[in-house]
Amino acid sequence: MRKAARPSPPEPIATARAARPARARVAAAPSATAAKPSSPPPQGPGVREFLAFCRIEAGLAKATIEAYARDLRDLWHFLGERGIADPGVVTMTHVTEHIQHLSREREMEPTSIARHLAALRVYFRWMHAERKIAKDPARLIDRPTKWKRVPGTLSIGQMRKLVEAPNPETCGTLWLRDRCMLELMYAGGLRASEVGALKINDFNETLGSLVVLGKGSKQRVVPVGLPAIQWTQRYLRDLRPELARFPDGRDQHRLLLSFSGRPLERVAVWQLVKKYAAMAGLQDVHPHTLRHSFATHLVVGGANLRVVQEFLGHANIATTQIYTHVDRERLREVIWQFHPREAVSRAEATRRAKPKAG
């Protein structure tokens, strides 16, 4: 009887075993969704190693590496749909078709396409240097011509309205932090990521300067004016100790903190600038507008272009030269004042214009 009784349980056991994976799958589905990263991991041959090279050896900024990862993910998705998985068989035609796909079907802006192509050129150049491919398919592809757009700037009066927009009556307890943020961005020409990355020790109130960590992890020292110094001192004295009330080190010694005591992120800086621009009655204002206004007002005031280049952290002065558009009249006056032939010509013209005596 025992031998006959033993085979009876297999059916429920087998049913239970078969049901377990189904229950596990149902239970695991929400957790898998919750654990899903905000952006999928980079895909494509050599992409992971290439991004590590960009981060460790090239020292590129985090935002640049993330952009490269997205661009290469788009490339290999495009190639994968055409059955191409080996980078050794990718040709210039494939790369050109991908760029045309971005322009015609996805309707990307020319600036985005130019950055996309730059990522592909660097990637395939690295693959060729590492002998992972025999030929560089993107070597002969020319960069698209980009129109240099005049950056949008604010007048001195508009800039004053923007930095004075935060106030305790309408903005709550964080108005002091926001006033400090806007003052520092305008006083030092800081990017949104740079002002959020500032640490307490980066602010030297004695020298009136900031140590700014820019693109490519390059540091620069930027002097700031008295208003920015005073508002930063007031924020550090009256508000930041309250925001940094948590002892778990979540503040990471950052200068600007959120209400939860964590560092102020780049997206939050964008949102705050847009918010106060709307309160000041200004349109089409973003964090880079403060940076453009900073550089423009310096050039108008007579600052040397090389000095402005150092303040902005531009590697190439050609990037800074876009700000020379703002004061064509002053450039003309400089020519008239210092060019020998222009000075003689103006003196002669003045002499002739004087009425003859008698």
Is residue 37 scored above 60 in pLDDT? Answer: no
Percent of the chain scoring above 70 in pLDDT: 78
Q: Give the pLDDT of residue 12.
A: 38
Integer Cα distance of 193 and 199 in angstroms: 12
Nearest CA to 177 among 278, 251, 282? 251
Whether 314 sits among the annotated catalytic residues: the reply is yes
Work out whether strand 209-213 and strand 219-223 pair parallel, antiparallel, or are unpaired: antiparallel
Is residue 23 scored above 50 in pLDDT? Answer: no
Tokens representing 239 are 């508000």
Whether 2 sits among the annotated catalytic residues: the reply is no
Model confidence band, residue 165 (pLDDT cutoffs 50, 70, 90): very high
Query: Which of 116, 177, 179, 191 is an active site residue?
Result: 191
Question: Which residue segments constitute the domains of the chain, with CATH numbers given?
Answer: 47-129 (1.10.150.130), 156-317 (1.10.443.10)
Mean pLDDT, the chain, integer: 82
> How many residues are there in the chain?
358
Distances (CA, A) of 162 to 44, 138, 159, 214: 45, 45, 5, 24
Task: Write out the H or E segment, with its range, that includes residue 169.
Answer: helix 168-171
Q: Give the pLDDT of residue 345.
A: 66
Q: Give the pLDDT of residue 63.
A: 81
Q: Is 168 left (phi over 0), alpha (psi -120 to 50) or beta?
A: alpha
Whether 139 sits among the annotated catalytic residues: the reply is no
Model confidence band, residue 275 (pLDDT cutoffs 50, 70, 90): very high
Model confidence band, residue 43 (pLDDT cutoffs 50, 70, 90): low
- Alpha-carbon torsion (278, 223, 64, 38), positive or negative: negative
Give 93's contacts (C-beta < 8 A, 6+ positions apart).
none
Whether 215 sits among the annotated catalytic residues: the reply is yes
Give 115's contacts (C-beta < 8 A, 6+ positions apart).
67, 71
Q: Give the pLDDT of residue 34.
A: 37
Is residue 4 scored above 50 in pLDDT? Answer: no
Percent of the chain scoring above 90 in pLDDT: 50
Query: Which of 240, 254, 291, 292 is an active site residue?
Result: 291
Q: Give the pLDDT of residue 141.
A: 83
**Each residue of 53-94: pLDDT tens digit?**
988 888 887 888 888 999 999 999 999 998 998 988 999 999
Is residue 139 scored above 90 in pLDDT? Answer: no
Query: Which of 55, 161, 215, 250 is an active site residue?
Result: 215
Whether 131 sits among the annotated catalytic residues: the reply is no
Q: Give the pLDDT of residue 349.
A: 65
Integer Cα distance of 200 and 256 in angstroms: 9
Whether 276 sits among the annotated catalytic residues: the reply is no
Predicted TM-score of the model (pTM): 0.65
Query: Which of 121, 274, 286, 288 is an active site residue?
Result: 288
